[in-house]
Homo-oligomer: A and B are copies of this chain.
Amino acid sequence: MGSAAADALLPLDPETFAAESHAVVDFLDGYYRNIQSYPVRPDAELGRLRTLLPDAAPEDGEPVDVVLEDVRRHIVPGLMHWQSPSFFAYYPMNASTAGFAGEMLSAGLNVVPFAWAASPAATELEAVVVDWMAKLVGLPERFLFSGGGGGVLQGSTCEAVVCTLVAARDRALIMLGGHEGILRLVVYASDQSHSTFQKGARIVGIPPANFRVIQTSAASSYGLTADSVRRAVDADVASGLVPLYLCATVGTTGLGAVDPLRELGEVARRYDMWLHVDAAHAGSSLICREFQDCLDGAELADSVSMNPHKWFLTNMECCCLWVASPAALTSALSSNPEYLNNISTENAAAMDMVDYKDWQIALSRPFRAMKLWVVLRRYGAVAMRAYIRRHIDMARWFELELEADERFEVVVPRRFSLVAFRLRPRHEGDDVEALNRRLLMAINSSTGRAFLTHFVVDNKFIIRLAVGGAMTEMQHVRAGWVLVQEKAKEVGATPGRY
Contacts and interface: CB of A to CB of B under 8 A. Distances in A.
Given A103-B103, A111-B80, A136-B57, A3 B382 contact: yes
A135 B57 contact: yes
A80 B119 contact: yes
Nearest to A156: B362
22 contacts: A6-B383, A9-B386, A11-B94, A12-B471, A24-B104, A25-B104, A28-B104, A47-B352, A50-B127, A57-B132, A57-B380, A60-B382, A70-B377, A78-B120, A107-B315, A156-B365, A162-B203, A182-B182, A183-B183, A254-B339, A343-B440, A344-B445
Contact of A74 (B29, B94, B105, B121): B121
Contacts of A67: 101, 374, 377-378
Contacts of A182: 182-183, 205
Contact of A362 (B159, B335, B363): B159
A11 B95 contact: yes
Contacts of A155: 155, 362
B25 A25 contact: yes
Tell me the number of copies of this protein. Answer: 2
A127 B21 CA distance: 26
B12 A64 contact: no
B381 A109 contact: no
A56 interface: yes
Contacts of A195: 335-337, 340, 363
A378 B337 contact: no
Nearest to A116: B46
A9 B383 contact: yes
Contacts of A9: 379, 383-384, 386-387
A42 B116 CA distance: 11
A170 to B, nearest CB: 8
Contacts of A385: 6
Contacts of A60: 380, 382-383
Interface in A87-135: 90, 93-101, 103-105, 107-112, 116-122, 124-125, 127-128, 131-133, 135
Contacts of A183: 179-180, 182-183
Nearest to A360: B158
Contacts of A78: 119-122, 124
A128 B203 CA distance: 28
Contacts of A199: 333, 335, 361
Nearest to A206: B205
Interface in A6-33: 6-7, 9-14, 16-18, 20-22, 24-29, 31-33
B470 A11 contact: yes
A76 to B, nearest CB: 8
A316 B370 CA distance: 14
B20 A376 contact: no
B366 A96 contact: no
A464 interface: yes
Contacts of A75: 121-122, 125, 370
Interface stretch (A240-248, A396-404, A422-430, A450-458): A450-458
Nearest to A366: B316
Given A25-B18, A136-B57, A316-B107, A64 B464 contact: no
